[in-house]
Amino acid sequence: MPSHKFNVGQTVDFKPSRMGFPAANRECTIVRRLPAEGGHHLYRIKCATEAFERVVSEAQLTERAA
């Protein structure tokens, strides 16, 4: 399995996956890389607009446009 795509401290866009509900991208920072689970790389992220951290899969993240 290839290594993680994103690095700790990197700013990314988080796209929540809610079936049936469109969701806007949120600017978040990678806090920690987590071990793969079920064939998916996981990350702990922190979004500036939220008071908590969350665990998401790499598929829910995209690089920020420069």
Q: What is the pTM of this model?
A: 0.83
Report pLDDT for 22. Answer: 53
Here the tokens at position 64 are 């920020």
Report pLDDT for 35. Answer: 93
The domain spans of the chain are 11-63
**Considering Cα of 21, then 22, then 26, then 30, what sign does the dihedral take?**
positive
Mean pLDDT by 10 residues, the chain (66 residues): 89 79 76 93 92 93 84
Residues 6+ apart with CB under 8 A from 53: 31, 44, 45, 46
CA distance 40 to 27: 21
